[in-house]
Amino acid sequence: MAKEPGRVLKPFNSSSGPDIISPVKPGTALLQAKENTSTCAQPERKQWCLQDFDIGRPLGKGKFGNVYLAREKSTKYVVAIKVLFKSQLQKAGVEHQLRREIEIQSHLSHPHILRLFQYFHDKTRVYLVLEYAPKGELYKELMKNTRFDEKRTATYMYQMTSALLYCHSKKVIHRDIKPENLLLGLTGDLKIADFGWSVHAPSSRRTTLCGTLDYLPPEMIEGKLHDEKVDLWSLGVLCYEFLVGKPPFEAETNSDTYRRITKVDLQFPPYVSHPARNLISMLLKHDPSQRITLEKVLEHPWIKENQRPAAP
């Protein structure tokens, strides 16, 4: 049986935030592996460089760079490498967000969270060495299927809830749960892949408006303090979108979406079962303190009846 890609690769372990952004000149060509331009970020540690990898096909494009399939030369293990241009990160003013993402994700180890094994950088780019998720983006799978049945949705919900319980135990709030930030591993299991908006609690109790509009909870829209319970709201929105194929508060304009969220204007198509409606309704409470806990989500009858056990 083939080994899971990346199993032997050890994550970077940092006690302080990475220092990876420095002034650069834009316009350098991407991934010229033959040039000796990539240097290790911290030579005194065992660090990878670009020359340690054979670079394969592109896996996806992002706002600040691309993701490539890659193979570590000495172990032959397959990973994904996210390549980010420093000039674009600086222009958008998101250097701090990347530092935070690296600091948080490199310390997380859970079956349903994509591993960040290590990072390195050269004069123009930052490289994130990530676990490879062979079955790709969950959002594309949802678009292909239009919507998921209740067994598949409950399985994803169980996996998401398990991952969020782990995050919250580490005082990490995700704040940007949505299908676009989820990948599927070798056995089809869900993996949270993006921690760009994550923060450590309780310093996260502030009024930053971040994340995707359809998934924003009332307390963030209303400019109130927020805590880890924002992830409970987003989990309810995610469950609805899996079952229905679109978010519950989708509207023609942003202001209409805001209004529907703050009023919790929740309407279900007839094909959504009453047990599923019950769980979603208990997550989508305007008052964060009234939302069902993650522990109780795992014990909810609809989850227990429908979720499939993890593959061996």
- The DSSP-derived string for 204-226 is T-S----S-GGG--HHHHTT---
- Before 202, cis peptide (omega within 30)? yes
Q: 160 phi and psi, to 5 degrees?
A: -60, -45
pLDDT digits (tens, 9 = 90+) for 177-188: 888 889 999 999
The C-alpha atoms of residue 169 and residue 295 are separated, in whole angstroms, by 12
What's the rounded mean pLDDT across residues 40-45?
37
**What percentage of the chain's residues is helix, strand, coil (to nearest 5)?**
35, 15, 50
Q: 177 phi and psi, to 5 degrees?
A: -75, 130
Confidence at 310, pLDDT banded by 50, 70, 90: low
Residue 110 has pLDDT above 80, yes or no: yes
| Range from 32-46, 73-87, 247-261 carrying the lowest mean pLDDT | 32-46
The C-alpha atoms of residue 67 and residue 77 are separated, in whole angstroms, by 16
Q: Which residues are catalytic?
A: 176
C-beta separation of 99 from 20 below 8 A: yes
Confidence at 238, pLDDT banded by 50, 70, 90: very high
**pLDDT over 90 for what percent of the chain?**
55
Continuous segment of H or E residues that includes residue 120: strand 116-122
What's the rounded mean pLDDT across residues 185-202?
72
Left, alpha or beta for 217 (phi > 0: left; psi -120 to 50: alpha)? beta
Q: Where in the chain is the domain with CATH 3.30.200.20?
A: 39-130
Residue with the two structure tokens 């096909």:
57
Left, alpha or beta for 245 (phi > 0: left; psi -120 to 50: alpha)? left
Cα–Cα distances in Å, from 247 out to 25, 50, 144? 41, 40, 16
What's the rounded mean pLDDT across residues 131-152?
94
Max avg pLDDT among 56-65, 166-175, 281-290: 281-290
Q: Which of 72, 68, 70, 73 is nearest to 83 (CA)?
A: 68
pLDDT number for residue 169: 93
More confidently predicted of 47 and 140: 140
Residue 22 has pLDDT above 70, yes or no: no
pLDDT digits (tens, 9 = 90+) for 240-255: 999 999 999 999 888 8
Residue 208 has pLDDT above 70, yes or no: no
More confidently predicted of 243 and 1: 243
pLDDT number for residue 212: 61
Residue 275 has pLDDT above 70, yes or no: yes
What's the distance, Cα to Cα, between the start and end of the chain in Å?
12
Confidence at 161, pLDDT banded by 50, 70, 90: very high
Residue 218 has pLDDT above 70, yes or no: yes
Residue 2 has pLDDT above 50, yes or no: no
**Which H, E and C letters describe 292-304, residue by residue?**
CCHHHHHHCHHHH
pTM of the model: 0.80
State which fold the 138-306 domain adopts: Transferase(Phosphotransferase); domain 1 (1.10.510)
Q: Where in the chain is the domain with CATH 1.10.510.10?
A: 138-306
Cα–Cα distances in Å, from 223 out to 102, 217, 220? 27, 10, 5
For residues 133, 96, 177, 245, the Cα torsion angle rounded to the nearest 10 degrees is -80
The CATH number for 39-130, chosen from 3.30.200.20, 1.10.730.10, 3.90.1640.20, 1.10.1200.10, is 3.30.200.20
What's the rounded mean pLDDT across residues 75-100?
89
pLDDT number for residue 46: 59
